[in-house]
Amino acid sequence: MLNHNYTRYFGRLPLKPCVLVCIVSLLGTIAVAQQTSVSSPDGTLTVKLDLKNGNLFYEVELEGKTMLEASPLGLQSKTINLSDNLHPVAEKRAEISTNYNESKIKRSQVAYKANELRYLLENASKQQIEVTFRVSNSNIAFRYYVPQVGEPANFALIKEESGFKFPLITTTFLTAQASPMIGWMKTKPSYEEEYQVDQALGVPSKYGVGYTFPALFHVGDRGWVLISETGVSSAYCASKLSEGTKDGLYSIAFPEEGENNGIGRAAPTISLPGYTPWRTLTIGSNLKPIVETTIPFDVVEPQYPASKKYEFGRATWSWLEWQDGSINFEDQKKFIDLSASMGYEFVLIDNWWDTKIGHEKIEQLVAYGKERGVGICLWYNSNGFWNDAPQTPKNKMNTSIARKAEMQWMQRVGIKGIKVDFFGGDKQETLKLYEDILSDANDYGLTVIFHGCTLPRGWERMYPNFVGSEAVLASENLIFTQHANDTEAFNATLHPFIRNAVAAMDFGPVLLNKRHNRENNGGTIRKTTETFQLATAILFQTPVQNFGLTPNNLQEMPTHVIDFMKQVPTTWDETIFIDGYPGKYVILARRKSDTWYIAGINAEGKEKIVSVNLPILSTDAVQLIDDNIARESKQKQIRLSKTKTIKLTLQPDGAIVLIGK
């Protein structure tokens, strides 16, 4: 006979119609073990659960090798402890199989298969918690479910015990979480700190408040682990990793109290019954599963239907190189003309447009763009009262009444999308603002990009009009500091393995000016080659690319450079990692329809020669763009050997691009 609590809680959970669920075993209270496990469909990845003296831990093994040692699980509120004095009630197993299409991520068609374990426990007061693990080939996702027991209809957390304890042979590739209300005009944290690579476990972060997701760990000769989270909405806060201990434990940590000028509670509150977001781990003996993972999207569902078929593509963006002085009517016409000449779908008009151009003139620019097949996107300041950023338009996105009035105007005149900036926090209150902006924008047929913001966590699939987020030390820093130019290649080799592995990244790539100012004759100096810049259009994935091109590039750049930029896609059907190491070099391939775009970049400071095998190519002839010894970009057609092997030479701060079928 089934345990009563098992029937009560497991029996009422709805099954998604798109998920095939096969029940493998049902266990009642008496039969539930203190130890249990679940493995991936191919059997190589295993999660082991162990209830020790009332505390729940999990371990992870890859092909029998320990990737995570005993790591804690559980939740706590001020009045309820769901991490201590627990005993098992029931467990349930299922096979998960889903197929979905999503054009905005690194693979347009995904088949997700996983084995699921749901483990129900309760404490001495009969309060219950269920932990769910889904284990697919190379990926783990886990979350908690808290049922309502008694009168309380919510669960106000003070701590999530979830941790990740690494073997002592592990090194880290992490970026620090910034302290609240620091940086330019008190706009941090905004996920724009520098990475520290191959560091020992437990090295203190720059600000002492932990690390942002995603976080990459190298477990010696055993392999790699990428940790992040997904499914974060207004129902929870966005989390981070705590400071690490010397013995290798990193834990889930909530936002800092001072974020968003102290507005809102730092820890989240769950409505009961309710779920936490998914914690995700991508695990591989090499870096291929890390770069190719789709786990952030595999375990989430769309939150609302698209109000229209949204368009994605390429945009020009005057502000990047020409800065605030370009926000005027005539300069924006020049960039509309630039987009038209490149065959691009959009132009992005940045800050101050409301005062320097005005709503009436924006309507004229929309009409001008429509005649040339170019849509207009507009920048907004999210600021209500949580930072000091002066750029306008502001106070238009942070309240429902103002937001809907502005979006109604945009819909009427034909604006295609918005870019909203300066959020500065990860609290549940702030996540509600992100979601409200996205939901309202969908009602008015607008796409959304976020800047000065948090990492998107499954949002490409959750919100159909979401495009991408900055959440990275992006291209604007190439204009601001020479240091960013000096380290451009190093940083670019990190993103496919870390930041861009889990979410669309609105970096703003491909700056072809040799000097970063309007006249291309002053300011900071680009250290990378033109081929390198082209390669970033492939390496950095987001469905709308706001490229750093300027009108002078059409005359100053070689024909093959401009031709490439006219044809490069922004949405992809497949992504394959070929070779590389974070901080040194990377080579990866992306496919659009039947054409492969292969990019490789070199940050090692000396010429690098790499032999790669490309069985993905069906033809022998491919186009190669690379750099000669003088660092000039050259294009030629080459023929592959019968084995599809090619030797590539990457100049320091240089690159290769291959195009073939």
Segment 30-72, tens digit of pLDDT: 458 899 999 999 999 999 999 999 999 999 999 999 999 999 9
- On the question of pLDDT at 610 being above 70, the answer is yes
Q: What is the domain partition of the chain in residue ranges?
A: 36-299, 478-543+570-660
Q: Decide: 194 and 186 in contact? Cβ < 8 Å.
A: no
- Name which residue leads in pLDDT, 658 or 5: 658
- Torsion on CA atoms 170, 171, 177, 183, rounded to nearest 10: 170
Q: Decide: 9 and 118 in contact? Cβ < 8 Å.
A: no
pLDDT the model gives residue 507: 98
- Letter for the amino acid at 242? S
pLDDT the model gives residue 544: 98
Q: For the residues 20-33, what does the mean pLDDT come to?
A: 46
Alpha helices in 70-212 (DSSP H): none
Question: Does a cis peptide bond (omega within 30 degrees of 0) precede residue 393?
Answer: yes
In sequence order, what DSSP letters do the residues of 422-475 get, joined into one string? Answer: -----SHHHHHHHHHHHHHHHHTT-EEEE-S-PPPSSHHHH-TTEEEE--SS-T
Q: Decide: 571 and 541 in contact? Cβ < 8 Å.
A: no
pLDDT in tens, 537-594: 999 999 999 999 999 999 999 999 999 999 999 999 999 999 999 999 999 999 999 9
pLDDT the model gives residue 540: 98
Q: For the residues 223-232, what does the mean pLDDT come to?
A: 98
Q: Nearest-CA neighbor of 471 among 434, 441, 438?
A: 434
pLDDT the model gives residue 18: 42
Confidence of residue 26 (pLDDT cuts 50, 70, 90): very low
Helix axes 400-413, 428-443, angle to 10 degrees: 30
- Name which residue leads in pLDDT, 618 or 6: 618
pLDDT the model gives residue 33: 85
In sequence order, what DSSP letters do the residues of 240-299 get, joined into one string? Answer: EEPPPPTTSEEEEEPPPTTGGGG-S-SS-EEESSEEPPEEEEEEESSSHHHHH--HHHHT
Q: Name the architecture of domain 478-543+570-660.
A: Alpha-Beta Barrel (3.20)
Residues 445 and 646: their CA atoms lie apart, in Å, by: 46
- On the question of pLDDT at 16 being above 90, the answer is no
Q: Determine what percent of the chain is predicted with pLDDT higher than 70.
A: 95
Residues 429 and 434: their CA atoms lie apart, in Å, by: 9
- On the question of pLDDT at 25 being above 80, the answer is no
Q: Determine what percent of the chain is predicted with pLDDT higher than 90.
A: 93
Count CA atoms closer than 13 A to 565's CA, side-chain side: 31
- On the question of pLDDT at 28 being above 50, the answer is no
CATH of span 36-299: 2.70.98.10
Q: For the residues 312-319, what does the mean pLDDT come to?
A: 98
pLDDT the model gives residue 362: 98
- On the question of pLDDT at 660 being above 70, the answer is yes
pLDDT in tens, 422-473: 999 999 999 999 999 999 999 999 999 999 999 999 999 999 999 999 999 9
Q: Hey, which residues does 626 pair with through a beta bridge? A: 634
- On the question of pLDDT at 96 being above 80, the answer is yes
pTM of the model: 0.95
pLDDT the model gives residue 586: 98
Residues 16 and 6: their CA atoms lie apart, in Å, by: 20
- On the question of pLDDT at 23 being above 90, the answer is no
pLDDT the model gives residue 31: 54
pLDDT in tens, 147-196: 999 889 999 999 999 999 999 999 999 999 999 999 999 999 999 999 99
User: Taking all residues of the chain, what is their mean pLDDT, rounded to a whole number?
Assistant: 95
Domains 36-299 and 478-543+570-660 alike in fold: no
Its sign, for the CA torsion 146, 150, 154, 158, is negative
Q: Helix, strand, or coil here: 201? A: coil
Lowest mean pLDDT among 223-227, 285-289, 617-621, 651-655: 617-621
- Torsion on CA atoms 558, 563, 564, 566, rounded to nearest 10: 130
pLDDT the model gives residue 32: 81
